[in-house]
Amino acid sequence: MSSEAAQLAVRTLQKARNAARSALVWGYEQRLGRDVQAHGRLPRHLGLILDGNRRFARASGLQREVGHSFGADKAHEVLQWCLELGIPAATIWVLSTDNTSRDPNELAHILSLLEREARNLATDPRIHANRVRVRAIGQHEGFPPQVLAALQDLEAKTADYDGMRLNIAVGYGGREEIVDAVKIHLHRQARAGLSLDEVARTLQPSDISAHLYAADVPDPDFIIRTSGEIRLSGFMLWQSVYSEYYFCDVYWPGFRRMDFLRALREFQGRERRFGR
């Protein structure tokens, strides 16, 4: 056999193996989907910590900005998966308060992606057909005016919708959220004429919960973090006291529907105790 024929035979064999592997993966993913839907119990509120964009880019030999772009595209995919399964609410953590101190060029790229995606969501047929209410939560002071305008337009266009709730956590930190909630409560009690001693004596956890960024959405049942990091890094600190956690080794841009379904199947197999 000539070398050309041998190389052709090897490539043909590789294609056949890849096709067989793809068929097996597809079949496994379909079975996972049926199992998850048959079980029926899904999170009322799913938290997603989108981690690993830069490491994905580095591992792929790409510039870090490309990793963020791939990550934004992946968020669109995961939104579709949530809609298909009928998950009532999701919060995706896009940018933390700590991230806002990153390299200015990288931060500018992330914010430009945020503006682009907000404008895309504002005209996305899926958002309007499914009546998805979208809200940006976090501290947005210092964001460029065009980014704020895009987020405000998206919120305004979906404000009256009664379908899935989608929170985009950007410029978000769990400690900052709690501090902001305490400040609001203190200011309101002061305007009502209460002294600091009176406020301290009557303070209840529900007073803080009432002033969180997304106070009208149930606490997250289930939180998924990609990239292999096993920590929350401040994500919804107050609300996650009874959440179930799932840590996935894959970087966010490489997060597959199969990974998503595996996580949900894991959630369905857990017994939630709520501290009892």
Per-residue model confidence as pLDDT tens digits over 35-52: 898 888 999 999 999 999
Name the residue among 132, 78, 93 with its Cα closest to residue 264: 78
Ranking 67-81, 217-231, 261-275 by mean pLDDT, the lowest is 261-275
Identify the pLDDT of residue 102.
Answer: 86
Identify the pLDDT of residue 272.
Answer: 86
Catalytic entry in 18, 35, 73, 99: 99
Mean pLDDT of the chain: 92
Identify the pLDDT of residue 4.
Answer: 62
**Could you confirm whether 259 is annotated as catalytic?**
no
What six digits make up the tokens of 152? 């405000």
Q: Give all domains of the chain, ordered by start, each with its CATH number.
A: 44-173+219-268 (3.40.1180.10)
Residue 244 has pLDDT above 60, yes or no: yes
* Residues annotated within a binding site: 51-56, 64, 68, 96-98, 102, 225, 231-233, 244
Residue 16 has pLDDT above 70, yes or no: no
* Residues annotated within a binding site for Mg(2+): 51, 244
**Could you confirm whether 207 is annotated as catalytic?**
no
Identify the pLDDT of residue 76.
Answer: 93
Alpha carbons 166 and 156: distance in angstroms, whole number: 14
Alpha carbons 217 and 210: distance in angstroms, whole number: 11
Residue 62 has pLDDT above 60, yes or no: yes
Percentage of the chain modeled with pLDDT above 70: 92
Mean pLDDT value of segment 16-37: 76
Residue 54 has pLDDT above 70, yes or no: yes
Those residues whose C-beta lies under 8 Å from the C-beta of residue 233, and which sit 6 or more positions away, are: 49, 96, 98
Residue 185 · residue 211 · CB < 8 Å: yes
Chain segment 165-205, per-residue pLDDT in tens: 999 999 999 999 999 999 999 999 999 999 999 999 999 99
- Give the pairing type, strands 244-247 and 222-225: parallel
Identify the pLDDT of residue 25.
Answer: 78
Catalytic entry in 18, 35, 51, 73: 51
Identify the pLDDT of residue 11.
Answer: 60
Identify the pLDDT of residue 72.
Answer: 95
Residue 234 has pLDDT above 80, yes or no: yes
**pLDDT category, 19, cuts 50, 70, 90?**
low
Residue 117 has pLDDT above 70, yes or no: yes
**pLDDT category, 276, cuts 50, 70, 90?**
confident
Alpha carbons 199 and 95: distance in angstroms, whole number: 33
Q: What are phi and psi of 239, to 5 degrees?
A: -80, -20
* Residues annotated within a binding site for substrate: 52-56, 64, 68, 96-98, 102, 225, 231-233
Mean pLDDT value of segment 116-131: 97
Identify the pLDDT of residue 219.
Answer: 97
Alpha carbons 118 and 154: distance in angstroms, whole number: 6
State the number of CA atoms in the 13 A half-sphere of 19 facing the CB.
6
